[in-house]
Amino acid sequence: MAPSPAERDELFKGFARALFKGDIDALYRVVTPDFLWTFHDGLTVTKSLADPAAIAGHLAEQKSLFSAQRFHDVAYHHSDDMTFMTFRLSETVRATGEAREQRGVEVYTFSDGKLATKDVYRKPIAS
C-alpha cells in the first residue's frame, strides 16, 4: 500500500532537502535500499542511477556542469499508487553561459513507505 498524500508530502520534503544539500545519507532515509532514479535530460543524456555512489556522482556532475539550476511551478499530483511532479527548470551551462528552459514531469513509486523509483522526463521549452 502506498503512503497517504500527507506522508508522501513529508517524503518529498526530506528527499528535496537531501538532494539540495547533497546529503546521500539523508536521501537514503526516505528511499528504499534498491531505489532507482532514471532520467532523460531533454537533450541527449539518459541515465539510470541505482546506488548511493551513482547518485552522489550525478549530483557532483550537475554542480560542475551548471552554474545555476532552479525549479519553478513545482506541483505534486498524487494518484493511488504513484505521484507525478510537474515543473519548469531554468539552468545555466557553466562553460558557455547558455541559459536553458525545460518543462518536465517526474513519476514516483513507493515501497515499504518510502520512495522506490523516480523517473524524470524533460524537454526544452521552445523560445
pLDDT digits (tens, 9 = 90+) for 8-60: 999 999 999 999 899 999 999 999 999 999 988 767 778 889 999 999 998 88
Q: What is the pLDDT of residues 86-112, one digit of tens each?
A: 999 999 999 999 999 999 999 999 999
Q: For 1-5, 70-74, 111-115, which range has the lowest pLDDT when averaged over its residues?
A: 1-5
- Interval 69-80 mean pLDDT: 94
What topology is assigned to 5-124 in CATH? Answer: Nuclear Transport Factor 2; Chain: A, (3.10.450)
Q: Nearest Cα to 35, choosing from 122, 112, 121?
A: 112
CA-CA distance, 42 to 21, in Å (whole number)? Answer: 24
Please report the pLDDT score of residue 39 as a whole number. Answer: 87
Domain boundaries, the chain: 5-124
